[in-house]
Amino acid sequence: MNAFPNVTVVSHPLVQHKLTLLRRKEVSTAEFRRLVRELSLLLAYEVTRDLPLEKTAIETPLEPMQAPILAGKKLCFVSILRAGNGILDGMLDLVPSARVGHVGLYRDPETLVPVEYYLKLPEDVGERQVIVVDPMLATGHSAAAAVTRLKEAGAQQIKFVCLLTVPEGLRVMQDNHPDVSIFTCAIDRQLDEHGYIRPGLGDAGDRIYGTK
């Protein structure tokens, strides 16, 4: 029996290849940023697979036709600051018309509990499918806190996208938000005593922005 039935591991060969390149400690900041953007675009393709369509009348150069187009309100991407912005950029390459929200959370280094310092969302977030993005779902506390705030703001359709996660973080999300589907490139072995994913890829925010 699948312990995490709401989790999709995107096993596409290109995703797995680029994730391996991303993990390498010798990768430069510029290369790391480029790989995150490419992975984000591929993940966006997977997470939007079930978007509803409707027919609209258009004219091709040869004749009129009824053609499929996205139905209703479009997406809202919500980035968990700051590292989530690295994934956000790639997703907006694929869906440039999406609305964008931000949740600012930092993890207390002693307690590992998330502390919120910023929240800005579209007014109609309750009418949109919301995709929350953060490179790492580690302890799961920040992700769970962000989703809780989104639900308080009216969001009803929520998915979560990350590059990497671990069973500990998935259990926290499952316990707090069993209705939220999670898309990831890999489920790694475990967290270490500092709350880092092992084997992981280090601190995604520091590697994206070159701050360490």
Rounded CA-CA distance 136/203 in Å is 9
pLDDT in tens, 158-207: 999 999 999 999 999 999 999 999 999 999 999 999 889 999 998 888 89
> Could you tell me the domains of the chain?
8-50+74-209 (3.40.50.2020)
**3-state SS string for 133-179:** ECCEECCCHHHHHHHHHHHHCCCCEEEEECCEECHHHHHHHHHHCCC
Residues carrying an active site annotation: 107, 111, 203, 206
pTM: 0.91
pLDDT in tens, 93-143: 999 989 999 999 877 777 767 788 899 999 999 999 999 999 999 999 889
Residue in the structure block whose two tokens are 């506390």: 141
> Which residues define the annotated binding site for 5-phospho-alpha-D-ribose 1-diphosphate?
82, 107, 134-142, 203
Rounded CA-CA distance 91/114 in Å is 25
